[in-house]
Amino acid sequence: MTQDIDTTQVAASQPAANPDRLPAESVRVLAVLLVGAFVVILNETALNVALSRIMTDLAVDERTAQWLTTGFMLTMAVVIPITGWLMERFATRTVFTLALSLFSAGTLMAALSWGFPSLLAGRIVQASGTAIMMPLLMTTVMELVPSKQRGRVMGTISLVISAAPAIGPTMSGVILNFLPWRFIFILVLPIALAILLLGHRLVPNLNTPVPVKLDALSVPLAGFGFGGLVYGLSLVGSPTAGWSLEIALGVGVVSLALFVWRQLSLQRTDAALLDLRTFTYPIFTMALGVMAIAMAVLFGTIIALPLILQQVLHAEPLFVGLLLLPGALLTGLLGPVVGRLYDMVGPRWLVVPGAVAVAVAMALFSRLEVSTPWWQLLVAHLLMSLGLAFMFTPLFTITLGALPYHLYGHGSAMVGTIQQVAGAAGTAMFVTVMSAVASAQPAGLSAEEALAAGARSSFLTMGAFWLVGLVATLFLRKPEEVEGHAPPVMH
């Protein structure tokens, strides 16, 4: 039986002596959602370390095994645009139950998989739950937390989003030292089920479901549009892509154009799958643009840097993981601190210095040579992580804070979608420039020197691209309380 929460309980749980504290019920709800988000994100990165074991066990090649990562990313890009409709059409508790049920079912399928197709199917189901969970968390924070306290809470979310991907590979490596790769899923399953049961009891309904119809044309257009773009961008730089790259990008661009046209038509009757009126709020649009550039630079760097460390500096995989771990943990641990600073001083005093720090990091990375000592790259990575830590919490907070209450779900879905597409675009840009420049080097250079030259050009390109984002940060400001926001009735 679910536990209903009414507003009198929430009011009674808030101490009169400290009105700035969140009600106890809200804290419990957010804690459940944060733990759920941590588990689903942790599992997203944990499998990467196990790919070689999976290839041997299931007798598949590297290209086939990569579909466990590509398929996850594609599913996220396709499902996230639908989450705005889900959160409008169904009660909050129902959406939470759906997200964790899908994730748990996918985890069970992957743990019991008898071959590669069933393992891939499990990953796709897992990704469907993950895609719903993150927009739900962001929307719930906006609905439960007053504007003057959102920075602190968003900082905690940044900790989860940053620390979970860093811990995932480490956790996977420990498991693989003692147990088969299936235990990556087996050990996560009871945790996911426990969160599902706890959340079904504690997560309240913050909305009144509206019987919005699911447009039969918008769903496939979103799937082919965002999925085509992400898949096409993932093929950039691949020597075996052939016509698949052009076809995927062509289908993506055309489908996305039709999707936009369809949403503009449907939003006149409030029936859009993804309401594009979010872009009529300038602060949302500006902050989302900066976030897209930040995600492109972040993913381009973190995907290519391990390859560079191994092939240019001949670093061992374990050493690479240890070198990158401090930066990832720094980003996460600074999240709550940055959140509190945001509540005090607003975004500009945090985002602008953060953007400058990332620009300096790109300049340091662009000096890469075969003889570069590893500690210089560690310093550059720590500086980049520090800069992004000062940017992500304010960006998440002001992006959704600029919207009225009824657009929170659509805004969260838009943020999640842009993150996937921008991450794929950043990776494609980095790999393309690096490969092209490395291939154009004189024949007398060694493979390491050619790749180092390509990496320098990629970091310079990223740095030039980043300057656009740095200029945009100068125009960011803390949004005022938006008209149309009303506290939700929890029941």
Same structural domain for residues 174 and 253? Answer: no
Same structural domain for residues 117 and 134? Answer: yes
**pTM of the predicted model, to two decimals?**
0.76
Q: What is the pLDDT of residues 200-230, one digit of tens each?
A: 888 888 777 888 788 888 889 988 888 888 8
Q: Band of the pLDDT at 306, cuts 50, 70, 90?
A: confident
Domain-located, residue 1: no
Domain boundary among 229, 250, 272: 272
Same structural domain for residues 419 and 283? Answer: yes
Domain boundary among 272, 289, 309: 272
34/239: higher pLDDT? 34
Same structural domain for residues 164 and 144? Answer: yes
Domain-located, residue 9: no
Q: What is the pLDDT of residues 460-491, one digit of tens each?
A: 988 988 998 888 888 888 877 544 444 455 55
Domain-located, residue 2: no
Same structural domain for residues 268 and 282? Answer: no
Q: What is the total count of domains within the chain?
A: 3
Same structural domain for residues 322 and 176? Answer: no
Q: Residue 16 has what pLDDT?
A: 41
Domain-located, residue 15: no
Q: Residue 361 has what pLDDT?
A: 93
Q: What is the pLDDT of residues 56-75, one digit of tens each?
A: 888 887 667 778 877 887 88
Q: Residue 10 has what pLDDT?
A: 41
Same structural domain for residues 407 and 442? Answer: yes
Domain-located, residue 57: yes
Instruction: Tell me the CATH number at 195.
Output: 1.20.1250.20
Same structural domain for residues 158 and 220? Answer: no
Mean pLDDT of 427-452: 84
Same structural domain for residues 125 and 224? Answer: no
13/302: higher pLDDT? 302
Q: Residue 7 has what pLDDT?
A: 39
Q: What is the pLDDT of residues 70-85, one digit of tens each?
A: 788 788 888 888 888 8
Same structural domain for residues 46 and 87? Answer: yes
On average, the pLDDT of the chain sits at 82
Same structural domain for residues 153 and 294? Answer: no
Q: Residue 441 has what pLDDT?
A: 86
**Residue numbers of the domain that contains 76:** 22-201
Domain-located, residue 398: yes
Tell me the three-class secondary structure of the chain, residue by residue: CCCCCCHHHHHHHCCCCCCCCCCHHHHHHHHHHHHHHHHHHHHHHHHHHHHHHHHHHHCCCHHHHCHHHHHHHHHHHHHHHHHHHHHHHCCHHHHHHHHHHHHHHHHHHHHCCCCHHHHHHHHHHHHHHHHHHHHHHHHHHHHHCCHHHHHHHHHHHHHHHHHHHHHHHHHHHHHHHHCCCCHHHHCCHHHHHHHHHHHHHHCCCCCCCCCCCCCCCHHHHHHHHHHHHHHHHHHCCCCCCCHHHHHHHHHHHHHHHHHHHHHHHHHHHCCCCCCHHHHHCHHHHHHHHHHHHHHHHHHHHHHHHHHHHHHCCCCCHHHHHHHHHHHHHHHHHCHHHHHHHHHHHCCHHHHHHHHHHHHHHHHHHCCCCCCCCHHHHHHHHHHHHHHHHHHHHHHHHHHHHCCCHHHHHHHHHHHHHHHHHHHHHHHHHHHHHHHHHHHCCCCCCCHHHHHHHHHHHHHHHHHHHHHHHHHHHCCCCCCCCCCCCCCCCCC
**pLDDT above 90 for 258:** yes
Domain boundary among 149, 174, 201: 201
Q: Residue 1 has what pLDDT?
A: 39
Domain-located, residue 60: yes
Q: Residue 387 has what pLDDT?
A: 92
Domain-located, residue 12: no
Same structural domain for residues 164 and 283? Answer: no
